[in-house]
Chain A
Amino acid sequence: MKNQPFVASLTLLSTLAATLVMPAAWAGPYDGYTLRVKLIGGEQYEPLYSVIPEWEKKTGAKVQIVSSKSHFELDRELKQDIASGKIDYCLFSNHTNFAAQYVTITRDLKPLVPADFVSKFSPRVIQQSTIKGKLLEIPRHSDISELYYNKKAYDDPANKAAYKAKFGKDLAPPQTWDEVAQQAKFFAKPPNFYGTQFAGKDEAITGRFYEMLVANGGQLFDKNFKPTFNSPAGVKSLNWFVDLYKSGAVPKGAPNYVWDDLGNGFASGTVALDLDWGGWASFFNDPKSSKIAGNVGIVRAPKGSSGKRTGWSGSHSFSITQSCDNPKAAADFLMFITGFDAQMLEARRGLMPTRLDAQQAALAEFKAKNETYLTEVFNTFAAGMREDSFTPPLIPEWVEVSNSIWPELQKAIVGDKTSKQALDDAAKKVEALMDDAGYYK
């Protein structure tokens, strides 16, 4: 106890030294810097941002979120930023479908992000993030749609017997789009129950048509960017939607549906089959939000007549601006929020990670916890991303092309035009806008 004053003095001295000396030693590499970012907002995406304080603590920098909006709103805002030339932020949320529009403001990430970091990601997703040799975005998570089905409808003995009697085959989740149509009509008992549904407006229907077109062996453009979607494969694809709509196998409001309507419709238990995004998987199996929780099945997206599967896909991602005053700090932040831990945080919430190591680790966790549903979901979506995924053409005019196509698709679906007329008219509009944009010089 004699040493007590000495120990007390030593402690006091150490505390003083720590107070005076340590801040300099602890200061992070970007101490005092404020990183301005524009991020996608929404319930699904914001949990990731809870890791931001960790990066701030590690680096000494501050992250200032100057905008937090849905992707479509953010897209409009970014276009206005480009127009006004006011790009006073360093990092922004991007998307494969939109990235080509922002080429003039986006930095090539290859010199900023080490190759061994990039190699952790799915090669196909990295390829889809690269335009004219420049890596413009690092993907955060990927979306591809797969076929959810209502097990109650498929396990019902009466349905099984009726299907066998009618078609001579056992009732099982469909493998082809022809089978989807056949089963959708079989299940439909409007207005109480529908065979399937589809998003019928905006880019959603263009995308659905596009993936059906590819599955049937068609393409949107030839190599000179002349529209070719008004081909026999295009007519066959559009007829699929027209036929199901006319037959009453899909809800009458489908031409006005987008993702929320589809998600809520399938969760209400009134639809047998639903081609939908991975982000809905947890929602469908949650008793608080879904009447079919515990009865959700999932299979790969069906094949078209060419034997290819449907696979329109895109990734949510982050990009760094050309005008960024501290690209190193921005790249550091980007690598932090697309790193393994950050991707695991999103994967546990059902979002498909773009890093292969996170995909494998998430699957291992689900298996260890005996979460068979999420295991099945991840296996199905991972296979789809690996083998079937493709993006729309990575050109700045994509949104405009889509806006020229979808109103014409709707005209065929609601019966105002034949499929051939509608596709020919859409092709004329697309050709005119591509000509305006200088593709045929």
Chain B
Amino acid sequence: MKLLRKLPPEARLLLPAFVVILVVVAVPLLFSLYTSFTSYRLVRPETIWNVVWFKNYIKLFGSSDFWWAFGRTVLFLTVVLNLEMLFGLALALLVNQVTRGQRMLRTIMMFPMMFSPVLVGFQFKFMFNDNIGIVNHILQNWFGVTQAIPWLVESHLAFFSLACAEIWNSTAVFAILLLAGLMAMPQDPLEAARVDGCTPWQAFRHVTLPFLMPFVYIAMTIRSLDVGRAFDIVKIMTNGGPAGRTELIWTLSARAGYEDARMGYANAMSYVAVLLSIAFTVHFFRKLNASRQFLNEVDA
């Protein structure tokens, strides 16, 4: 109590929040970090005390399966984020042009977000089924395709199919945030650009887009965390296969942790995935600050 009294009042007020964060966030994080240095197996609880130091990490870094999954996760993040940004921007610009029924369009636009990723995974899995799926059915019956296209098997097509499901599910996040940016945008600079004789493309490129960039980077940050832990859709549609062609870090980690019960090894893998997400977040925050600084300089 004496120690508490010595603390400044603002620290005393913040203390409960620090305690809650410590219990809810820090303890589980530290616990999982500790287990990543053990040979912990779920079905043999006593192994939690068997410290193996960096053995799990050494094994992980020596595994080609892990590095393939790591590279694929980075590629998946890059492709999905950029495409979602482009589609979201296009949607936001189109909806922003609409003067009547915009509210209804905004609601419809958000429908995919309301579906659980598990359900989206099942929907796309059945749509892309090579034998009884609707995509091949349409291609074969309406467009004269004579082959069954292996959407979930051939490596590029499987990557494309997973990206489609992920993009369909979450493009609305970009669209809504960018639409909010467009609606908040002052009209004076645009009108000044028109008076100066700018083409619509030039006005978009040099006025609208710089103003939207902070919104783009906020959306990128949020979605990079989501896509970085992409699991449900991939688990349902391909479970990382076939032959590891769609394996991402989290499908590999979940299999090691919950099916093989090798929780120590899985936690080591998870920490690498978390570091990857942090790297993306730091990158986007830097971009966000740079774009805000640019806007401030323009205003000044």
Contact = CB atoms under 8 A, between A and B. Distances in A.
Interface of A: 75-76, 79-80, 82-85, 101-102, 104, 190-191, 194, 200-202, 251-256, 261, 264-265, 268, 270, 396, 399-400, 403, 407, 410-411, 413-414, 416
A191 B153 contact: no
Given A202-B239, A413-B242, A414-B243, A252 B148 contact: yes
B153 A256 contact: yes
B242 A255 contact: yes
A264 B133 CA distance: 11
Contact of A194 (B131, B150, B153, B237): B131
B147 interface: yes
B43 interface: yes
A37 B80 CA distance: 43
Contacts of B243: 255, 407, 410-411, 413-414, 416
Contacts of A101: 43, 261
B146 A191 contact: yes
Contacts of A396: 43
Contact of A253 (B130, B239, B245, B262): B130
A104 B43 contact: yes
Interface string B233-245: 0000111111111
Contacts of B130: 191, 251-253
A195 to B, nearest CB: 13
Q: Interface on chain B toward A: helix, strand, loop, or mixed SS?
A: loop
A377 to B, nearest CB: 24
Given A201-B239, A253-B152, A264-B132, A76 B258 contact: yes
Contacts of A268: 131-132
Nearest to A264: B132
B263 interface: yes
B221 interface: no
Interface string B72-88: 00000000000000000
B291 interface: no
B38 interface: no
Given A252-B153, A253-B153, A400 B131 contact: no
A411 B131 contact: no
Nearest to B146: A191
B242 A79 contact: no
A236 B255 CA distance: 29
Contacts of B245: 414
Contacts of B171: none
A410 B259 CA distance: 19
A190 B148 contact: yes
A83 B263 contact: yes
19 contacts: A83-B263, A85-B45, A101-B43, A101-B261, A190-B147, A251-B148, A253-B131, A253-B148, A255-B153, A256-B242, A264-B132, A268-B132, A399-B259, A400-B262, A407-B241, A410-B242, A410-B244, A414-B153, A416-B243
A256 B242 CA distance: 6
Contacts of A410: 241-244
A39 B65 CA distance: 35
B86 to A, nearest CB: 29
**Residue of A251, A264, A413 most packed against chain B (CB within 10 A):** A251
A256 B131 contact: no
B42 interface: yes
A328 B147 CA distance: 61
Contacts of B132: 264-265, 268, 270
Nearest to A76: B258
A102 B129 CA distance: 36
B150 A252 contact: yes
A403 B239 CA distance: 12
B36 interface: no
B151 interface: yes
B243 to A, nearest CB: 4
- Nearest 6 pairs between A and B by C-beta? A255-B242, A191-B148, A252-B150, A253-B130, A410-B243, A411-B243
Given A268-B131, A410-B243, 19 more contacts: A79-B42, A79-B258, A80-B42, A83-B43, A101-B43, A102-B43, A190-B148, A253-B131, A253-B153, A256-B238, A270-B131, A400-B262, A407-B243, A410-B242, A413-B242, A414-B242, A414-B243, A414-B245, A416-B243
